[in-house]
Each structure stands twice: as structure tokens, then as C-alpha cells.
Structure 1
Amino acid sequence: MARSTTGRSRFKIQRSLGIEIPGLGKAGALERRPYGPGQHGNKRKKISDFAVRQKEKQKLRYHYGIREGQLVNYVKKAKKDKSQAWMDSLLITLERRLANVIFRLNWAPSMLAANQMVSHQHVLVNGKKISVAGYTIQKGDVITLTERGFASLNYQQAQATPRLPSVPACYTINGKIATAVDLPLPSDIPFEYAGQLVTEFYWKVKP
């Protein structure tokens, strides 16, 4: 599981990236101070090409709550998939992570909360408890929560104030049971990102 992120660091992360990252939960950073961190954050600074590319891949890291090593492994796996552009394969795989699915179903208010629900064995896939946040959801899988999961503060908070306005079309929800009726699309990513810059950042990574 990725390291916990405090409210203050969420504030700083989103300011430095210049965009709200849904997976971090609601921090309201950009609403309060719409410029970069530091006392000179509102002054223009020249940013290197490397820094620009790094910022784009950091969006993925922070949203999905994964470490750099995990992201690199996902990149290597995606580059082995010759059926489509590797960046599309990467995004689809990240969207299929179980923790992300719980977050996208609005059953958790943040990716960290979704990770906790999975690790505490509050999540069932096809009737079996799954405790691995990176478990890959397949088309046709049925996802639900245990009684403790539905009674948890994380679930109650997510239902009261959903972090995202809608659930991706690849999932259907019938009562408290969700089904993956299709694979997610790269366009399901709930924030703006420049895929070409991520591709350029990891161009040296071998499959």
C-alpha cells in the first residue's frame, strides 16, 4: 500500500501539480490559492522539459496511490501489450485496480480510504474477500462490500458527498452490488493529463 497522505500534503501536492487529483480526496487546494506553492508561487518560473513530464506522471502516481516502483512495473507490463498503444494499456490497467474500482463506485471518499477498505477485507469479488488493493478486476466480476464495509465511515462519507459526480459506464450498480460489464476506457480517467508527456518520461523503460 502506498504511504499515507495527510491533508496538508494533499494541499501541497495539488497546488504543485496545478490540478485537483480526485484520488487524494477533497482538499480544496486550488480553490483557496490558485497558484504554486511557496512565497513566490504566483511568479512565473521556467520549468524544464523533464519537470513538465515528471509532473504528468506524478498525477497518475498520486491519483492511484501507488509508489514509483509500482508505476514502472505497470509501464513495463503495458509495453508488452502489442494490441494497443502502451499508454492506453497502462491507463486501463490502473483503472482496473480493485482499490480504484471501489473509489470509482463512490464507495470510498479517496484512494487511501479505498486501499484501507480492501486491506481490512471489507471488499468481496465474486463472493470472495480480496485484501490486495492492486487486484485486477475482470469483465464480468461482481463487486460488493461486507456488512462492516457498508457500515464503515468511509462508505457513509462517500455516499453522503461523492468525490466524483458519476460512475463509469463499465460498471452497473444494482442495490449494493456492482458488476464490471466491460473494461474501462482511457477516457474514464477523471482528471486532465497529457499522455504523450508520460510516454516521453518513460521512453527508456524496457518491457
Structure 2
Amino acid sequence: MSERKKFKIQRALGLELPGLGKPGALEKNPLPPGQHGAQQTRRKLSEYGLQLREKQKVLFHYGLREEQLRRFVRDARRISPTNWIESLIGLLERRVDNLVFRAGFGRSMASARQLVSHGHVLVNGKRLTIGSAVLRPGDTLELTEYAKGEMTLASRESPRLPLPEFLQLGDNNDNTRATLVSLPAARHIPFAFEPQRVAEYYAQRGV
């Protein structure tokens, strides 16, 4: 995805999505695409529009396709039928590619996913190339010796987001290794988000 498209998506949603990478997308032009002039304001969204916007935040931040998100919704419903939205966020936040991003190994979800798919990340000491794999508390992530060099140095020295409380760096704050120490929840999502609207969106569609 081009930088221009990333900026356009964030302008349309009215907020920055950390997973898309470089900050500052709304600093120069916070207005939605197609609107011009300081006097223009965002049109009021319908209830469906509000639900759709929250779902799109999830899709674009985590870099998912609709069918992938629906699969996670179904999995979350099986885990917790009465509070599946919390389970959904827990699953998304525990994906390997997201944990690589949240650990600061990559500056965006795309770069984190590329590290995983190219075999630069070890999970519990073994190479894993499936970014959608979901980890459990106690599992560890570690960069390969090659990836501990210049490939990830800038990201690790200046991570896009602060380390979340559900991750812990290695001994002596080794920023090439991290452990999942607890289950993430909706409050850990790193952008303004209304989970209930996503729950309503999929409930109305029988997913």
C-alpha cells in the first residue's frame, strides 16, 4: 500500500492508525478526501456508517481482509459467546505479526508481517513464518541474529508505540526479545475505538 493511500485512509477515518506506520498523517490535512477549505466539516454519519467506520479501523490497522476478520469474529464467538468482542480483540492483538509490531521490531504492521514471513522471527525458539498465528501467555518472540542488526535497529530504538503491559522485554530490557505475559483486551487497542459498534455490525449480519 502506498504512503498516499495510507494517508487517504486515515483522513477518511479522521484518525491516525499506528499499524499503517509513519505518524503525522493528519497534520497537514485533517479533512476527509475530496473536501477543501478550512470551513468544511465532516458530514454526520448514520448508525450504519458509524459501525462501518469502527470495523474499517480494525481492518486497516491490523492489515486484514474482510473474510479474515469474519473468521476471527466466529472464533471469538466460540471462545466467549456473551462477550466475544473482548475475545476478538484479544485474538487480534495476540497475532504474531501484531506482537512483532507492538514489541517495536517493526515500524508498521506491514513491516512486522514481512519480518515474520521472511523467517526473521523465532517463536519459542523456533522459526515461524505465519503472521496470523495466535500466541498464548508465556510464549516468546525473538529476532534472529541477522534481524537483530541494522534491519530492525531504527524500529527498536524508536518504536512506533510504547510497549503494552501485556508484553515484557527480555532480560536487561533486551529489545530483541519479548514475552507475552497476559491476555490483551479492548482497552489495549492503540487508537480511538468503540468496540460495541463492531459487535453491532456483525450481530446484524448474523456472523
Regarding TM over 0.5, the answer is: yes
**Distance in 2 separating the partners of 1:128 and 1:44:** 48
Q: Larger deviation: 186-195 or 173-182?
A: 173-182
Matched, 1:99 2:86: no
Which one of 120, 144, 159 corresponds to residue 162 of structure 1? 159
**Distance in 1 separating the partners of 2:18 and 2:90:** 17
* Runs ≥4 residues deviating over 6 A: none
Deviations 1:109-152 (A, max 9, x none): 00000010000000001111000001111111121010222225
**Partner residue of 1:184?**
184
Instruction: Trace 1:79-94 onto structure 2 (pairs within 5 A).
Output: 79-82=77-80, 85-94=83-92
Point out where structure 1 has 5 or more consecutive residues left out of the alignment: none
Instruction: Trace 1:102-141 onto structure 2 (pairs within 5 A).
Output: 102-141=100-139
C-alpha deviation, 1:61, in angstroms: 0.6
**Distance in 2 separating the partners of 1:146 and 1:46:** 49
**Distance in 2 separating the partners of 1:171 and 1:39:** 40
**Partner residue of 1:67?**
65
**Distance in 1 separating the partners of 2:22 and 2:121:** 23
**What is the root-mean-square deviation in Å for CA atoms of aligned residues?**
1.7
Q: Larger deviation: 35-44 or 100-109?
A: 35-44
Matched, 1:30 2:26: yes
Deviations 1:66-106 (A, max 9, x none): 11100011111111123751100000000000000000001
Q: Larger deviation: 142-151 or 94-103?
A: 142-151
**Partner residue of 2:3?**
7
- Compared with structure 1, are the counterparts of its residues 152 and 136 closer, same or farther at alpha carbon in structure 2 (3 Å cutoff)? farther
SS in 2 for 1:28: coil
Matched, 1:148 2:135: no
- Compared with structure 1, are the counterparts of its residues 91 and 118 closer, same or farther at alpha carbon in structure 2 (3 Å cutoff)? same
Deviations 1:9-37 (A, max 9, x none): 11000000001000000152211112211
Q: Is the 8 A contact 1:79 1:206 kept in 2?
A: no
Write the letter of the residue equivalent to 1:157.
A
- Compared with structure 1, are the counterparts of its residues 39 and 126 closer, same or farther at alpha carbon in structure 2 (3 Å cutoff)? same
SS in 1 for 2:178: strand
Matched residue count: 201
Q: Is the 8 A contact 2:80 2:87 kept in 1?
A: no
Q: Larger deviation: 77-86 or 62-71?
A: 77-86
TM-score where L is the length of structure 2: 0.90
C-alpha deviation, 1:205, in angstroms: 4.6
Q: Larger deviation: 116-125 or 140-149?
A: 140-149
Percent identity, aligned pairs only?
Answer: 42
Q: Is the 8 A contact 1:76 1:205 kept in 2?
A: no
C-alpha deviation, 1:196, in angstroms: 1.2
